[in-house]
């Protein structure tokens, strides 16, 4: 029986995790829940699963992690506020099922230095796919990681054609149902840039050996290329319950959690190169990742401000990445990476982004 603490229980990842657990009460026990704001929805979840320990907000979530006995902490919080709970889970020796990519990206070496081998289990479908494929060989046999991207709602459009994109169009993702920030990040491909940094930190592969390819069908979730020329791909229908279930019980698979592909039906999978001119987010993210330190935190914070401004009608779609690039270029990293330094860098980045948006 795995004792599970779910952070972000009322969000997309949290509710799907509870879907998985609901069908396998013999395998999982929910010992704690934390939500961002929706106390009423969390209370209903707690009543259904018999959970006595709950928290509201990231600060209380971190306290919950430190105070509740759990085998695995699923961090499904959105945004860099998930850093504290991530660090707490690692410090307490819990297995961390990580859906909150921002905490790893922002925390960088602070997070990886705390993590024991195998303590972080990725929940993002792409990184779960890589983790599964890596079991086919040794670290020394890996040549390249290939992250797949759906291309979002604007795949195939030129940069010029993106100038008049509306928030409603940006939220019309063709495959995944996600929150406002993540869905917008998928439209700009910032999400894929963040995932490149995450892959580097999770698997220790250099940025020159991490590629992105556009795969609109979202069936192949990512691939690992090995030194003998073999490529191992993980393929499944686009359903987050599969990577969530692996995060909860890694390295074991949960039978029946997802429907397999129908190999009796005709189907076509396509792969396309990424258009760096129209979608420069991945290139910028690699630059930020190589710089390290507080640069990823600045990248993420500036993007969050720009996404809010876009949805409030104060910034164009193309202005999102333009703003992020200006803030990153203006940043000067401190000498040492600490939680205080990260907090100050984020504060500065948000203020700098707001100023740039006001001038746009």
Residue 174 clears pLDDT 90, i.e. is over it: no
> How does residue 338 score in pLDDT terms, banded at 50, 70 and 90?
very high
Q: How many CA atoms lie within 13 A of 103 on its CB side?
A: 28
Calculate mean pLDDT across residues 88-113.
96
Distance CA 355, CA 360 (A): 9
Q: Which of 75-79, 174-178, 289-293 has the lowest mean pLDDT?
A: 174-178
Query: Cα 168 to chain center, whole Å?
Result: 22
Which candidate, 18, 41, 37, places its Cα nearest to that of 28? 18
Question: Model confidence at 182, in pLDDT bands (50, 70, 90)?
Answer: confident
Helix (H, G, I), strand (E, B) or coil at 89: helix
* SS3 label, residue 183: helix
Query: Where do runs of H (alpha helix) occur along 150-265?
Result: 167-170, 180-188, 190-203, 241-249
Burial 313-331 (b: 16+ CB within 10 A, else e): eebbbbbbbbbbbbbbeeb
Structure tokens at 72: 């695995």
Q: Which residues contact 135 (CB under 8 A, 6 or more apart)?
A: 251
Calculate mean pLDDT across residues 323-335. Answer: 97
What's the CATH number for 293-360?
1.10.1740.10
- Calculate the average pLDDT of the chain: 95
* Residue pLDDT, tens place only, 130-162: 999 999 999 999 999 999 999 989 999 999 999
> Other C-beta atoms within 10 Å of 344: how many?
14
The ranges assigned to domains in the chain are: 2-123, 124-239+262-286, 293-360
Measured from the Cβ of residue 136, the count of other Cβ atoms closer than 10 Å reads: 13
For the domain made up of 2-123, the CATH class stated in words is alpha beta
What's the predicted TM-score (pTM) here?
0.94
The 3-state DSSP class for residue 32 equals strand
Q: What is the pLDDT of residue 172?
A: 86
């Amino acid at each position: 029986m795995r004792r599970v603490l779910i952070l972000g229980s009322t969000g997309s990842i949290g509710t799907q995790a509870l879907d998985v657990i609901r069908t396998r009460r013999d395998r999982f026990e929910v010992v704690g829940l934390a939500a961002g704001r929706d106390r009423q929805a969390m209370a209903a979840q707690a009543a259904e699963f018999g959970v006595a320990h709950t928290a509201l907000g990231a600060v209380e979530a971190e306290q919950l992690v430190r105070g509740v006995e759990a085998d695995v902490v699923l961090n499904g919080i959105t945004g860099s506020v998930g850093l504290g709970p991530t660090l707490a889970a690692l410090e307490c020796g819990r297995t961390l099922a990580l859906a909150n990519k921002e905490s790893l990206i922002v925390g960088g070496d602070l997070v990886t230095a705390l993590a024991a081998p195998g303590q972080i289990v990725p929940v993002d479908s792409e990184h779960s796919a890589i983790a599964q494929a890596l079991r086919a060989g040794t670290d020394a046999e890996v040549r390249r990681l290939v992250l797949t991207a759906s291309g979002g709602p604007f795949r195939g459009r030129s940069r010029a054609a993106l100038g008049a994109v509306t928030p409603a169009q940006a939220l019309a993702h063709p495959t995944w149902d996600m929150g406002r920030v993540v869905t917008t990040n998928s439209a700009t491909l910032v999400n894929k840039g963040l995932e490149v940094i995450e892959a580097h930190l999770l698997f220790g592969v250099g940025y020159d050996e991490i590629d992105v390819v556009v795969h609109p069908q979202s069936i192949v979730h990512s691939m690992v290329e090995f030194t003998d020329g073999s490529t191992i791909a993980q393929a499944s229908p686009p359903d987050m319950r599969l990577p969530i279930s692996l995060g909860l019980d890694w390295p074991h698979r949960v039978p029946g959690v997802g429907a397999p592909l129908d190999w009796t039906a005709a189907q076509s999978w396509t792969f396309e190169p990424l258009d760096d001119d129209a979608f420069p987010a991945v290139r910028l993210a690699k630059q930020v990742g190589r710089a390290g330190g507080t640069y990823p935190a600045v990248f993420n914070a500036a993007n969050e401000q720009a996404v809010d401004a876009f949805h409030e009608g104060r910034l164009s779609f193309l202005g999102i990445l333009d703003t992020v690039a200006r803030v990153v270029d203006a940043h000067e990293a401190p000498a040492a990476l600490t939680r205080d330094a990260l907090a100050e860098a984020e504060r500065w980045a948000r203020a700098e982004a707001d100023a740039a948006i006001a001038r746009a």
